[in-house]
Structure 1
Amino acid sequence: MPESITQLNNYLQAKQATHTISWLDYSTGPSHDIKWTVQCKISGELKGAVPFAGTGVANTKAAAKEEAARQALVSLGL
């Protein structure tokens, strides 16, 4: 599992709050150039320091999820 996702899961596990995380993902673009967008929500709130933070956009779903987790960690001060 990528580093930021693992770190976020460990943080929530220590707080006994792993059930509060959710991910929303979708793709856009033509099949030969798909862009994935993943949003990280904790307790139903989009986590991020600035608008659209807690959101990752990348060519793969895994990379977008990792970026969303990284931004969520920043917003949590970690």
Structure 2
Amino acid sequence: MNASHLPFGLIIPTLGVQELIIILLIAVLIFGGRKIPEIFKGFGEGIREFKSAMKKEDKQTASTGEKKEAPRPS
């Protein structure tokens, strides 16, 4: 099965180490070597902020005792 027959979500995991290295090299060429750590720092901060917001939401939901049911498939 080639990538053209896969759904979009399944294309990304098929990237190998060589492809990731090429993408990283292109990013260094575009943004410069000094800018890459700043980009990853911002990305990491965004992920941490998202996780803390999710934990906060879980605590609020647990304290109110609400249970959200998933919609039934039709």
Higher strand share: 1
State the structure with more CA Rg. Answer: 2
Q: Normalising to structure 2: TM-score of the pair?
A: 0.28
**TM-score (ref. length: structure 1):** 0.27
